[in-house]
Amino acid sequence: MSGVAYLAARYLARHKLVSGVLVAALALVVFLPAGLRVLVRHSAEALRARAIATPLVVGAPGSPVDLVLASLYFESGAPQPVPFSEVQHIDETGLAEAVPLHVRFRTGGKAIVGTTLAYFRQRELRVASGRLPAVLGECVVGASAARDLGVRPGDTLVSSPETVFDLAGVYPLRMRVTGILAPAGGPDDAAVFVDVKTAWIIQGLVHGHSDLAGPGSDAGVLAREEGRITANASVVEYNEITPENLDSFHFHGDPGAYPLTAVLAFPPEARSRALLMGRYEGSEARQILRPGGVIDELLATVFAVEKSVVAAIGLVAVATLAVGALVFVLSARLRRREFATLVKIGAPRGTVAALLGAEIALVTGAALLVAGGLVFVAARFAPLLLRSALAS
């Protein structure tokens, strides 16, 4: 380190508080626009990539953004449900592979996604350990969710009740973890996947309970008429699916009417996609969306807001730099005697300017380092931050 740089460093070290405030202020001035830009760009890339990987989303009419975010990121408010029959309807067209999505419940803060095995194939999700769910009550856990929840194959997870005091509401279901997915670098890492029927069990649409038709079951039966049995509250309803009670689980009503959050449609090529979209044109009961288009519209708004924010930050930056310059000017005035001593000792011309320059350079360098670190962190967590922001 040169002598002047050393003297500058000692001065800044002696005045830690002022130096720290200057570094923090400058770092913020640099970080805010740069971090915002990185945040938005990274988030946009991640959002676009996920959206492009999902050709079409079919759902009930409502907010396209809500539907796309719920389908792609398992976040946001629950859109209006679409019946399971929509999956069969799309499959029958032969224009796309339809994948049901049921996103409503959570376990340990992680979304429980009810779907079919086709989802894992279309998303190219690989099992790192264990296997995919094969029967009701089994689940496979995304990589980061497994880490956060501390589960391995063979462990169990319990779904969270939606409302604690609603006795007629959704009961928790104990699910067996059969596998952990390999990291995929997306929202699938943070989710818990079950068969869509398991999701309906959590919702109470499919259920299992003690046998009411067999011998010795009269204790809980209130009435039997025309094949319909009315029972009292002493009937045991299962909250865990085991090989012993698996057969007791049954549907009530038409499964085709069971709710889904959305249906993902994966057409084999562009023509099929266009044809499928044409089938839904003018439909008031359904909407079909290209997630890429919805995300682009959303990002256009985000970019417009970003421009305004950057302009505002620019003004703040000018003010901050002016205050920073004022601090150095005032500091130089207070240090006139010190600088005069350097001259009397015989410091070469320009030493004082070099000393102040070195101090400014050190403060600026430190601020850039801090800002760089913050930008790095922002880039790392950008997709997560923007998704959370959008979801809220």
Residues in the site for other proteins, rule: CB under 8 A? 3-4, 6-7, 10-11, 13-15, 337-338, 341-349, 351
Comparison of 201 and 352: residue with beta carbon closer to other proteins? 352
Strand residues in 38-107 grouped as ranges (E): 56-59, 82-83, 97-107
CB of 364 to other proteins, least distance (A): 20
Determine contact, residues 248/45, Cβ cutoff 8 Å: no
Determine contact, residues 38/379, Cβ cutoff 8 Å: yes
Determine contact, residues 387/74, Cβ cutoff 8 Å: no
Helix (H, G, I), strand (E, B) or coil at 233: coil
Comparison of 4 and 32: residue with beta carbon closer to other proteins? 4
CB of 336 to other proteins, least distance (A): 12
Comparison of 312 and 361: residue with beta carbon closer to other proteins? 361
Q: d(Cα 130, Cα 151) in Å, to the nearest integer?
A: 12
Question: Which class for 199: exposed (0-12), middle (13-18), buried (19 or more C-beta within 10 A)?
Answer: buried
Helix (H) or strand (E) holding 69: helix 64-73
Comparison of 8 and 57: residue with beta carbon closer to other proteins? 8
CB of 3 to other proteins, least distance (A): 3
Comparison of 13 and 318: residue with beta carbon closer to other proteins? 13
Residue 234 φ then ψ, to 5°: -80, -5
Comparison of 270 and 345: residue with beta carbon closer to other proteins? 345
CB of 337 to other proteins, least distance (A): 7
Calculate Rg over the CA atoms of the chain: 31
CB of 181 to other proteins, least distance (A): 57
Closest to 273 measured CA to CA, from 294, 261, 288, 295: 288
CB of 321 to other proteins, least distance (A): 25
Residue count (the chain):
392
